[in-house]
Copies of this chain bind each other. A is one copy, B any other.
Amino acid sequence: MARWEPGAEERLREAALLLFDEQGFEKTTVAQIAERAGLNRRTFFHHFADKREVVFAGQETSDELIATAIRTQPEGVPPLPAAVAGLAHAADTLYEQYREGAVLLGRVIAASPELRERELVKRAALADTIAAALRARDTNEPAAAVAAWTAVAIFFVARNHWNQPGNNRTLADLMTATLENYLTTAEGRPGGVL
C-alpha cells in the first residue's frame, strides 16, 4: 500500500482550477487548494513555484519544436509568414490535445488580472523564442522582434476563436486565416474578415 495517493500534482491542478472558477483567483488561498487535494500547504509549493503557476503548468511551449519549425521553413518565405507557419505547425502538435480543458482555462485566466499578467510573460517568452529563430534565418534584429510579436498576436487572436465553445476549426487553420486577414486589411483592401 502506497503511503501517498499518486497523482498529487494533477489533483492540485484540478482542485485549483475548480476553486478559481468558483471563487475567483484572488479569493482562493493556497491552503484551500491543498486541503481540497488532500495535501499540505507546503506540498503545493514543492510542485509549483507559486500560486499562478498551477494554472500554466503543463503548457510548456517547447521552444525547441517551435524554433526548428520556423527555421525549416523554405528559404524564400519572408519572416512573418515563416513565423506564423512554424508556430501553426507547432500549435497543431502541442495544443490540439488540450481542447476540452481550454474553455475552463480561458475563463479562469480571463477573470483574474494576476493570471492575465502571468500569461503576458508566457507571451513574451514565446516572442523571444520566435525572434531568435527568425534571426537564425538572417532576419535583422529589429524586424525579427517586431515580426515575432506580430506572430504572437496572431497566435493569441486565433486562440481566442479556437477557445470559443462552438468552434471546430483547428488552431493552425485559424492562424492562417488571421494572418491572411491581417495582411489584406493592413493593405487597405476590403474583405477578408475572419
Interface residues, chain A, with chain B CB atoms under 8 Å away: 76-81, 116-118, 120-121, 123-124, 139-140, 142-150, 152-154, 157, 161, 178, 181-183, 185-188, 193-194
Answer whether A142 and B188 are a contact pair too, CB < 8 Å, given A149-B152, A150-B150: no
Chain A to chain B contacts (Cβ below 8 Å), 23 pairs = A78-B185, A78-B188, A79-B186, A79-B187, A81-B188, A116-B121, A116-B124, A117-B118, A117-B120, A139-B185, A140-B181, A142-B181, A146-B157, A146-B178, A146-B186, A147-B186, A147-B187, A149-B150, A149-B152, A149-B153, A183-B187, A186-B194, A187-B194
Answer whether A153 and B143 are a contact pair too, CB < 8 Å, given A79-B185, A80-B188: no
**What is the copy number of this chain in the assembly?**
2
